Structure 1
C-alpha cells in the first residue's frame, strides 16, 4: 500500500475532525451526507458554495461550486493547507497527514494491517449506508400513502391561489396528496402545519422520496417559514410525475403500449400543473429543484424532452448547472428543446400564466 493510500485512509477515518480543524467548518452546516463549508481563500465565501461529502463512495471528495475546484481527500487537505492542488501541495498534504497520525516510520507489516482494516471499515460503512438509504426510502413511501387525497383538501385551496384548478388538469396522475399536520423539521421547535405532498419516483416508478410544500393555515399561500419547500430523503434520479399525457397511461404502461410522447420538464409542482392545463398534449414531470434537473432519469415512454427554464437562475453557477443538465438529457439520444421566457413574464411558468401569458 503506497504512502498516499495509507494517508488517504487515515484522512477518511478522521474526516470530520480534519474538516472542522482545517476549514473551521461550522457544525450547523453539517448534514448526514455532506458538510457545507466556507472557502477560506475566498473573501465573503458562503457555506453553500463549497461542500465535502461524508457518506458512501464519495466520502472525502469535495467541490467548490464557484471556482469548480474539486478533488479527493488528499486534495482536500492540500487545498485547506495551501489554497491550491498541485503535485507540490499534495506532498505538503502527505507530510502533514503523516505527521498528524505518526505514519512516517511505519513498517510494511503495519501498512498491510492498516490496509486490511480500512477495507473492512469501508465495506461496513457502505453496508450501513445502503441499509440507511433503503430504510429512508421505505419511510418516505409509507408516509406518502398515509397522507390524504388532495381533492377537497387545503392543498387544493393553495393551488387555486396559484390559479390552478385541479379539476382542469387533464390526465392528472397520482403523485399529489395532502397532510394536515406535517412536521416542519428545519427549525428547533419542529411545528406541525399543513403540507402538499408529492411522490418522487425513480425510473421504475417506485417512490424514493417525498417533496413537501408547507402551507399557510388557511391555504392562501406557502407557510411563513425559512424554506417552505423541502424534500426527504435523497432525491437523485427521482422526479414527480404530475400528469399522464394524452394517452392517460402511467409511464410504465405507456412504454409497454408504445404510447411514446413529448415530456415537459419543470422545476416546481405548480409550474408543471400550469403547463399541463395550457398544453394537455404534454406528459408533465417536475424535477423538484434545479439540481434535480441534473439527475432526471430517461424512460421508455419519452420520445423527446421540452425543458422549461426558470428566470431566477441568473447566477453563473445556476446557469452552468442547467446547461450541464440539458447536455445530459441530450445524451439520451432524444430531441431536447429548451423554453426560456422573457424575464418580465415572471420567474417561472406559473408566474407567466398567472400574468396572462398563453
Structure 2
C-alpha cells in the first residue's frame, strides 16, 4: 500500500511539470492557452478534456476535467488511464520514472493568462473547464425545483459559482452562480457553452435582463444527454429536453438551445428515428417543420412530440411524472414505448 502522503507528493511533483506530463501521456492533445485539451484521459483524440497547466484562481495545475462525462482528477489518474494500469503501485512507479526523465525540467515561471476573444469557442472551453459537476450544487437545486429529478447522464451540465454577467446596457459586471452547458459536435468536441445564471439560493433564474446566453460555435451542435444511437429526441431548451428525459431516461437527447438551432441540428450517422420535441409557439412550429423536412430528406423517420401546455417542463411541473409519462406514451411508436417507457417504469 502506498501511503497517502506519498501519493499526494507524487501528484504535486507531477503538477510542477504538468505540460511535460501531458505531452508525454496525452500526446493526441494540444496546448490551448493555459490548458491542455484532449479527448479524454485515455489519450483519445478530441477536445472535451482540459488539464490545467498553470496555477489559477480556480485551482492548482495538474487538475483535469472531462466536460463530456463530468469526470475529474489529477495527473496520477492521467498516467493510470492513459497506460491502462490497475495497481496503484505500478502508477506510482511510472510516475517516479517519468520524474527522472530529462523532459521533466524545472517548471518555467507562470506565464500570464492568454486573452481570448469574449464569446469565442476557446472562451467557452475555458469556462467549461473551470466549472464543476452539478451534483450537490445550486444547479441540482434549480433543476429539481423545475421538477427534473433524473440527473444521470448529465455530464454535459456544469456549475460555476461566480460566472461573469455583463449587462447589455454596459453596466457593471457581476459574478453570479450559473449552470454551464457544454455544446458539442457529433464527435464530442466542445464547440461552445450555454450559461443560465441562477438565483443565489438556486430556486430559479437570476433576476437579470438576460439570464440565458450562449457562446462559441452553436450551429448544428447541441447540449447532449446520452450516447446517440438509432433513436434520439431533440428539443430547444435544456429544461424542456431534460423533462422528457425524466420520462425516457434511456433515450439519447439533445438540446439545441433555440428554435433556429433546433432546425439546423446535425444528425448522427446512426440515427434512424428522431423525436422532435415541440414547444407550443410559432417559433417551435417553424423549427418542427424545418427539422421534419430535413430528417425526411435524410431518410430518417421523424415524429413530433407535443406538450399539453407551453412546453414539456410545464407539463411535468403541473401534472407530475406519472401523468406526463402517460401523455408521452400515446405519442411514441409502439416499439419505442416498449423499449423506453417499460424499462423506465
**What TM-score, normalized by structure 2, do the two folds share?**
0.55
Pair 1:183–1:285, CA change in 2 (3 A): same
SS at match of 1:355: helix
| Partner residue, 1:272 | 241
Tell me which of 154, 163, 166 is aligned to 1:185: 166
* 2:8 equivalent in structure 1: none
1:238 counterpart residue number? 221
* Contact 1:203–1:237, Cα closer than 8 Å, also in 2: no
Distance 1:212 1:309 in 2: 22
The equivalent of 1:349 in structure 2 is 312
**1:135 to partner: Cα distance:** 9.3
Question: Match of 2:138?
Answer: 154
Which of the residues 210, 223, 229 maps onto 1:227? 210
| Counterpart contact for 1:261–1:282, Cα < 8 Å | no
User: What corresponds to 2:57 in structure 1?
Assistant: none
Match of 1:163 among 137, 147, 153: 147
1:326 paired with 2:326, answer no
> 1:143 aligned to 2:106?
no
Equivalent in the alignment of 1:307 = 276
Moved more, 276-285 or 189-198: 276-285
* Alignment correspondent of 1:217: 200
Residue 326 of structure 1: how far off its partner (Å) = 2.4
Q: Write out the 4+ residue segments of structure 1 that deviate beyond 3 Å after TM superposition.
A: 132-135, 317-322
Query: How far apart, CA to CA, are the structure 2 residues paired with 1:341 and 1:134?
Result: 36
Q: CA deviation at 1:205?
A: 1.4
Q: What's the TM-score, normalizing by structure 1?
A: 0.53
Distance in 2 (alpha carbons) for counterparts of 1:301 and 1:152: 35
Aligned to 1:340: 306
Greater Rg, structure 1 or structure 2? Answer: 1
Matched, 1:281 2:234: no
Q: Aligned equivalents of 2:179 and 2:235: distance in 1?
A: 18
Aligned length: 204
User: Is residue 278–residue 285 contact of structure 2 (8 Å, CA) maintained in 1?
Assistant: no
In 1, the alpha carbon distance for the partners of 2:173 and 2:291 equals: 34
Higher helix share goes to which structure?
1
Q: Which runs of 5+ in 2 are unaligned?
A: 1-115, 325-345
TM superposition shift of 1:159 = 0.6
Name the SS for the 1:302 alignment partner: coil
2 CA distance for matches of 1:159 and 1:318?
22
Structure-1 separation of matches of 2:236 and 2:275? 12
C-alpha contact 1:144 1:199 (8 A) present in aligned 2? yes
Distance 2:298 2:125 in 1: 28
Q: 1:305 to 1:318 in 2, by over 3 A?
A: closer
Taking structure 1 as reference, are residues 354 and 135 closer, same or farther at Cα in structure 2, changes over 3 Å only?
closer
Q: Summarize the alignment of residues 96-107 of structure 1 with structure 2, pairs less than 5 Å apart.
A: none
In 1, Cα distance between equivalents of 2:201 and 2:154: 25
Q: In 1, distance between residues paired with 2:234 and 2:119?
A: 29
**Distance in 1 of aligned mates of 2:203 and 2:118:** 36
Change (3 A) 1:325 1:133: farther
Distance in 2 between the 1:134 and 1:186 partners?
14
Instruction: Say whether residues 1:202 and 2:202 are aligned partners.
Output: no
RMSD of the alignment, in Å?
A: 2.2
Q: How big is the shift at 1:133?
A: 8.9
- C-alpha separation between the residues in 1 aligned to 2:184 and 2:209? 26
Aligned to 2:314, the other structure's residue is in SS state helix
Matched, 1:294 2:260: no
- Partner Cα separation in structure 1 for residue 255 and residue 201 of structure 2: 25
Corresponding residue of 1:41: none
Name the residue aligned to 2:107.
Answer: none
